[in-house]
Amino acid sequence: MDAKHYYNPKGEEILDEKIFGGSPSGFVDFNRSRYKWDSNIYNLMNANTWFPSEVNTSTENKNFEQLSPNEQSIYKLTFAQLSFNDSAQEEYLSDFRRLTNNRLVKAVISLQIMQEVNHSKSYAVLLDACGNSEEVFNLYKHNSALNRKNQRIAEQFAQYIDGGSVDKMLLSAMASVNLEGIYFLLGFSYIYLLGDKVPGARDMIKFIARDELNTHLPLFANIFKTIQKENKIQTSTIDSVYTMISDAVDIELEYGHYLLDQFPIMGTTHEIMEQTVFNYANDRLTKIGLDPIFKQSDTTYLQKLVTKHLEMNEVKSNFFESNVSNYAKSSLDLDDF
């Protein structure tokens, strides 16, 4: 392993630091950024820091026990999969950060790593209050559909994370776009469907979803677009991007079909689920500057549920609860996703 140079007085100027490739000086300067989106996203992440202890889970056990057996299965399998997503993302981010050159972008990734760990903690807090933490976290050992989805997501993460080229860095960033923009969304909507039956789970997911969709997804969409803009990306690599998102759609729908077949979910049909995933995938392609390729439908009620709970400051609170209920409004402009 080559020696790490923490200080490089002959390194390139801060404003010349690209995301991939180069020789940084070793300084993080928030007053000078090659990009605008990195400091904007950092500020939004920082302003919206929250902690699981701020969400009321005191009645979660009683509420969970009042769910039907079908609803309890959806609850457990949803949280089993979501908890893997955040765990995998935290590990992946550490690797992606190591390969990144621009120090300010590395700083934003560092903050996202902290937030992913916070999400993992939130699942532990919620499931401990519910009384089924060990069971849920071990479901992958007993449920082949859950295990297969986790394995396929992990393989997509691992495929390109070696820093061998800008093309591999682009595809690696795409794996994160898929995670933040596709693999979470059906799970979020299923918990929202349970809604007032499990207010602790609903409120915890509100804040996780806002992190993922308001800052984490924009971060990697901008990383993707910046790598593509700064480098001569091969046409075959863009073809691989389309393959990756098609695979992501297949991964999400495979698990979604399993859940619907085994545990019908309150009015959700296979058609609505497919329309929802296709619409999300088209939106993610558009946001990274590529043409949509999936059949587009009118906004589904599952999408509307997620969007409704992304609305800022929707929960009224007193002064002492303001960290939880008053999630700061976004300051990102169109160039920032």
Known catalytic residue at 35: no
SS3 (DSSP) at 331 = coil
Q: What is the C-alpha to C-alpha distance for residues 131 and 133, in angstroms, rounded to an integer?
A: 6
| Residue 141 CB burial class (10 angstroms; 0-12, 13-18, ≥19) | exposed
Q: What are phi and psi of 24, to 5 degrees?
A: -70, 155
DSSP-assigned beta bridge partners for residue 12? 24
Alpha-helical regions (H) of 37-184: 37-47, 60-65, 69-99, 103-130, 133-137, 144-158, 166-178
Q: Rounded to whole angstroms, how far apart are CA atoms 88 and 141?
A: 17
Query: Which amino acid does the sequence have at 279?
Result: N
d(CA 171, CA 130): 38
Please give the biggest Cα pair distance in the chain.
Answer: 65
Element holding 266 (H helix, E strand): none
Angstrom distance (rounded) from CA 165 to CA 45: 29
Catalytic residue among 42, 75, 123, 280: 123
Neighbours of 124 (CB within 10 A): 15
Q: Which two tokens stand for residue 161?
A: 């994370």
Q: Which residues pair with 24 in a beta bridge?
A: 12
How far, in Å, CA of 112 to CA of 268, rounded? Answer: 32
Q: Alpha helix (H) ranges present in 195-314?
A: 199-211, 217-230, 235-262, 270-287, 301-310
| Active centre residues (catalytic) | 123
